[in-house]
């Protein structure tokens, strides 16, 4: 049995969204939250202009599209850029992964539900929350305050407004990731 990986995380996330998910940024940020919650799952993240970014997750998303588990649909007129729609084979894969990893699937469902309720899975609030978490983690932990986030963001060349920091911290509280 192989361990839970980025392919599983992405497919279970898209499945939790009803089989379609808009935006690469949204995929990256939701999987980032799973990284925090799911033990022994850690695709490496580095800082990127829109928040934590994982090459492993980006590669897994490409693989899933290339091997027809998801259809990548370009939406050049929308901010999200791409939509990801699960194929029949992708649905089978997700079903098998949900059986093999029921606890992870439960956690993913909860994260997706919380993010949908908070911001309808819009990429900006998800990015603010991921940035806030990444910054405080880089600082070795501590309080999730607007001042901590803004000062830590400067070190990463991220300009974070008070409003963006509050939005990110509020979502992290809803996700219970503000500890």
Provide the terminal-to-terminal Cα distance of the chain, rounded to the nearest Å: 32
Distances (CA, A) of 96 to 5, 90, 175: 13, 10, 26
Structure tokens at 3: 């361990």
Asked whether residue 179 is domain-assigned, the answer is: no
Residue 48 confidence class, pLDDT cut points 50, 70, 90: confident
Question: CA-to-CA distance for 29 and 8, rounded, in angstroms?
Answer: 15
User: Is residue 160 domain-resident?
Assistant: yes
Is 103 a residue whose pLDDT tops 90? yes
Q: pLDDT value at position 1?
A: 46
Residue 147: count other Cβ atoms within 10 Å of its Cβ. Answer: 10
> Model-level pTM greater than 0.85?
yes
Domain that holds residue 166: 6-174
User: What is the pLDDT confidence band of residue 49, given thresholds at 50, 70 and 90?
Assistant: confident
Count of structural domains, the chain: 1
Position 112 pLDDT exceeds 90: yes
Residue 37's pLDDT band (cuts 50, 70, 90) = confident
Whether residue 62 lies inside any domain: the answer is yes
CATH of the domain at 124: 1.10.10
Q: Is residue 24 part of a domain?
A: yes
Q: Is the pLDDT of residue 90 over 80?
A: yes
User: Residue 1 falls within a domain, yes or no?
Assistant: no
Cα separation of 48 and 58, whole Å? Answer: 13
pLDDT of residue 77: 63
Q: Is the separation of the CB atoms in 18 and 121 below 8 Å?
A: no
Contacts of 8 (CB under 8 A, 6+ apart): 97, 100, 101, 104
Report, as an integer, the average pLDDT of 129-140: 93
């Amino acid at each position: 049995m192989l361990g839970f990986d980025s392919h599983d995380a992405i497919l279970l996330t898209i499945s939790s969204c009803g089989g379609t998910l808009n935006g690469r940024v949204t995929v990256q940020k939701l999987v980032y939250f799973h990284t925090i919650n799911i033990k022994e799952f850690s695709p490496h993240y580095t800082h990127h202009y829109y928040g934590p970014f994982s090459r492993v997750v980006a590669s897994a998303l490409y693989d899933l599209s290339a091997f027809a588990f998801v259809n990548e649909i370009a939406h050049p007129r929308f901010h999200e850029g791409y939509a990801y729609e699960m194929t029949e084979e992708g649905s089978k894969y997700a079903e098998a992964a949900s059986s093999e990893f029921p606890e992870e699937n439960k956690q993913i469902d909860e994260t997706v539900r919380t993010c949908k309720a908070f911001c309808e899975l819009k990429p900006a609030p998800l990015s603010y929350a991921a940035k806030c978490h990444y910054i405080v983690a880089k600082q070795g932990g501590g309080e999730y305050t607007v001042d901590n986030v803004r000062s830590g963001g400067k070190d990463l060349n991220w300009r974070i407004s008070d409003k963006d920091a509050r939005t990110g911290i509020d979502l992290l509280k809803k996700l219970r990731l503000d500890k």
